[in-house]
């Protein structure tokens, strides 16, 4: 939908507050306030913003200070900035729809003010501040019309009191770490990846730090509290990332706008349901989207690392997808060495003959990765991509998985986006692996179906650690990584790969609902699904992976999570337990519409961790049911309206 921007009246300047505070921006529902301050209590100096949240009971100072400023190769924009004016307040109001994600109809609604500053040499810097009902977004702008410069540093830094609880992932180029929960004297000093989750000491407010609208004009960033434990500063990529290829500081051309700095804020359920990272992103540049179809995927790599090398394994997974009514199957690495009965061309013909669409893996190529797995360079240039997409289209392939990016420098951001630009005319779906976490790109390029950027089920192949850490990790991801965009964890594995599960069958089944991904790769071997009981097998044949609505019903990171997602008139539930003890969870159906009865199919833990207990009931909005979960257990359920 076309954006509509109209003026609104709200308090932008106030004479009855301290002179240091120049303006406030308030969210449409009046729960979130953003205030701009000058540290020197005047019109010239260093500037910062402060964010507060009102939960209808009390107002909490969520972020007491967010430092602002940039250092450019020609001059500084941080220390002696003069306040020139605050622009006319604007009300941003936009409704838009998406093809996959946590909800299908989204609202980009905020109050916005642009603050104009200038440095001693009269060079201009604008700060655009938005207050949303579910958070805050701000960005920098150099409005002048010409000039090319290097941004030496970004001074944005979030001051967070030590007593604030936090869940953060130590930075690594593939974004595949575990989250560490910490507060007080347990707070570590590190470089940290996005997103990062925080809970105030009084539990009155949660917030999640991230960024969006990172494009060719900048690099990806991370957070660092190495210099000061309570201050998380925006930090550019390490020069060594991507084998040292590319500049770690971005080059910009004026006029220029930075990525959005995004703070999702509110209750924990507000965090989970927020689409703010996509709301601030550029609308879709793909006009015809009828070919973009989310769906479940059979995937042979988890159970057989060399599976795509074997034609018979590939056809068995194609048969699995056809039997389970999943629209896709993925040919992972080594497809170019396929034998034992056929080639990749033979496999494509077989898959298409089954009514399934094939997807195919590529190495991102180039000197930025040490990985030599082939085919390596076919996605590297515009010319090679066009040639390869042409071949794939003729063979019936529907999309590509591209792996091993290993950097978030500006040149790599451009590479990601160039791939998306070139894939669209060939109607190729795209899945990034070994990559950054989402930055709002799925709104701009809706054929970007999913990203890895997570420690997922693949880690059962990498060593014994994930066996013990997965149950807790799984209950943190719905509040962190999966909040900001699609996440291909490759879930729902019942058999074991190199290293075993401790999670129950009920826990694994629930992940099909809890984890959102436009292409949901279900990673078990065929017998892992064929040997399920009828109820679980039927559930996996119909469970959606693109949703109209998402609600957190209950949960806490690292403990448990109960989530409801709606597709059309039907609801699906997923619940998992991380703790090493049995527990009972009460499902209250008060989220259902009034006057409608539903058939509940509840597939929960059975007598042991490899069994199910299935119940069928008729429920409505007034109903509730207690469900037993094993230690590290879980359950899944469907609610289908009765005509």
pLDDT single digits (tens) 238-271: 999 999 999 999 999 999 999 999 999 999 999 9
Q: What count of Cα atoms within 13 Å lies in the side-chain half-sphere of residue 219?
A: 26
**Contact in structure between 492 and 511 (CB atoms under 8 Å):** yes
**Residues paired with 112 in a beta bridge:** 90, 130
Domain 295-453: CATH superfamily, name plus number: Aldolase class I (3.20.20.70)
The DSSP secondary-structure symbol of 339 reads B
Q: In what order do the strands lie in the sheet with 560-567?
A: 549-556, 560-567, 570-577, 634-641, 598-605, 612-619
**Contact in structure between 421 and 415 (CB atoms under 8 Å):** no
The tens digit of pLDDT for each residue in 360-402 reads: 999 999 999 999 999 999 999 999 999 999 999 999 999 999 9
Q: What is the CATH number of domain 4-279?
A: 2.70.98.10
d(CA 516, CA 36): 36
DSSP helix, strand, coil percent of the chain (3-state; round to 5): 20, 35, 45
Q: Which two tokens stand for residue 571?
A: 């609801």
Give the number of other CB atoms < 10 A from CB of residue 295. Answer: 21
> Taking all residues of the chain, what is their mean pLDDT, rounded to a whole number?
96
The tens digit of pLDDT for each residue in 176-186 reads: 999 999 999 99
Query: May I ask the CATH class of domain 499-517+528-643?
Result: mainly beta
The tens digit of pLDDT for each residue in 423-455 reads: 999 999 999 999 999 999 999 999 999 999 999
The tens digit of pLDDT for each residue in 31-60 reads: 999 999 999 999 999 999 999 999 998 999
Omega within 30 of 0 (cis) for the link into 386:
no
Burial class (CB in 10 A: 0-12, 13-18, 19+), 630: buried
The tens digit of pLDDT for each residue in 57-113 reads: 899 999 999 999 999 999 999 999 999 999 999 999 999 999 999 999 999 999 999
Burial class (CB in 10 A: 0-12, 13-18, 19+), 25: buried
Q: What is the pLDDT of residue 23?
A: 95
Q: In this model, does residue 9 exceed pLDDT 50?
A: no
Q: In this model, does residue 17 exceed pLDDT 70?
A: no
Domain ranges of the chain: 4-279, 295-453, 499-517+528-643
Common-topology check for domains 295-453 and 499-517+528-643: no
Largest pairwise CA distance in the chain: 80
Average pLDDT over residues 314-321: 98
Q: What is the pLDDT of residue 32?
A: 98
**Contact in structure between 366 and 322 (CB atoms under 8 Å):** no
Q: Which two tokens stand for residue 608?
A: 């042991």
Q: In this model, does residue 16 exceed pLDDT 90?
A: no
Average pLDDT over residues 518-545: 98
d(CA 398, CA 23): 51
Q: In this model, does residue 234 exceed pLDDT 70?
A: yes
Give kind and range of the element (H or E) at residue 232: strand 231-235
- pLDDT band of 20, cuts 50, 70, 90: confident
Give kind and range of the element (H or E) at residue 277: helix 276-279
Q: What is the pLDDT of residue 13?
A: 39
């Amino acid at each position: 939908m076309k954006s509509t921007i109209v003026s609104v009246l709200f308090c932008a300047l106030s004479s009855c507050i301290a002179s240091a505070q120049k303006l406030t921006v308030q969210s449409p529902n009046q729960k979130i306030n953003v205030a701009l301050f000058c540290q020197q209590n005047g019109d010239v100096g260093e500037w910062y913003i402060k964010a507060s949240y009102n939960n209808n009971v009390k107002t909490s100072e969520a972020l007491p200070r967010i430092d602002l400023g940039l250092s450019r190769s020609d001059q500084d924009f941080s220390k002696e900035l003069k306040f020139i004016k605050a622009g006319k307040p604007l009300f941003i109001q936009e409704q838009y729809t998406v093809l996959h994600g946590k909800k299908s109809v989204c609202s980009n609604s905020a109050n916005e003010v642009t603050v104009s500053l200038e440095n001693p040499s009269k060079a201009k810097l604008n700060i655009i501040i938005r207050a949303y009902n579910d958070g805050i977004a701000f960005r920098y702008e150099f409005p002048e019309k010409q000039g090319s410069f290097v941004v030496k540093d970004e001074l944005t830094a979030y001051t967070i009191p030590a007593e604030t609880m936090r869940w953060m992932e130590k930075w690594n180029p593939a974004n595949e770490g575990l989250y560490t929960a910490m507060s007080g004297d347990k707070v570590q000093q590190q470089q940290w990846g996005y997103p990062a989750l925080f809970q105030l000491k009084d539990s009155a407010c949660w917030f999640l730090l991230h960024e969006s609208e990172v494009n060719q004009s900048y690099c990806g960033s991370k957070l660092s509290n190495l210099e000061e434990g309570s201050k998380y500063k925006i930090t550019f990529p390490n020069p060594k990332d991507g084998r040292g290829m590319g500049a770690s500081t971005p080059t910009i051309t004026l006029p220029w706008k930075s990525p959005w700095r995004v703070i999702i804020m509110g209750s924990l359920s507000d965090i989970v349901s927020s689409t703010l990272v996509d709301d601030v992103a550029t609308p879709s540049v793909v006009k015809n989207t009828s070919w973009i179809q989310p769906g479940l995927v059979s995937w042979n790599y988890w159970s057989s690392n060399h599976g795509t090398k074997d034609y018979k394994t590939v056809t068995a997974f194609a048969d699995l997808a056809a039997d389970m009514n999943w629209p896709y199957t993925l040919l992972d690495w080594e497809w170019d060495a396929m034998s034992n009965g056929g080639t990749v061309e033979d496999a494509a013909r077989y898959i298409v003959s089954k009514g399934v669409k094939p997807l195919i893996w590529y190495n991102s190529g180039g000197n930025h990765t040490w990985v030599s797995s082939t085919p390596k360079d076919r996605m590297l240039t515009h010319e090679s991509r066009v040639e390869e997409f042409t071949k794939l289209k003729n063979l019936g392939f529907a999309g590509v998985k591209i792996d091993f990016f290993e950097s978030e420098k500006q040149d790599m951001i451009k590479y990601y986006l160039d791939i998306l630009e070139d894939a669209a005319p060939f109607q190729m779906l795209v899945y990034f692996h070994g990559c950054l976490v989402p930055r709002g790109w799925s709104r701009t390029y809706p054929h970007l179906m999913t990203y890895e950027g997570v420690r997922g089920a693949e880690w059962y192949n990498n060593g014994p650690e994930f066996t013990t850490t997965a149950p807790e990790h799984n209950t943190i991801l719905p509040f962190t990584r999966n909040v900001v965009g699609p996440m291909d964890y490759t879930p729902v594995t019942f058999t074991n790969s190199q290293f075993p599960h401790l999670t129950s069958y009920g826990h694994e089944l629930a992940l099909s609902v809890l984890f959102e991904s436009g292409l949901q790769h279900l990673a078990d071997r065929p017998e892992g699904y064929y040997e399920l009981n009828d109820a679980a097998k039927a559930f996996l044949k119909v469970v959606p992976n693109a949703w109209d609505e998402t609600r957190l019903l209950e949960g806490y990171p690292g403990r448990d999570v109960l989530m409801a997602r709606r597709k059309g008139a039907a609801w699906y539930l997923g619940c998992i337990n991380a703790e090493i003890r049995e527990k009972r969870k009460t499902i209250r159906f008060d989220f259902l519409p009034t006057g409608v009865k539903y058939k509940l199919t509840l597939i929960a833990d059975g007598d042991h961790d490899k069994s199910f207990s299935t119940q069928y009931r008729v429920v409505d909005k007034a109903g509730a049911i207690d469900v037993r979960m094993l230690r590290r257990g879980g359950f899944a359920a469907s609610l289908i309206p009765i005509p």
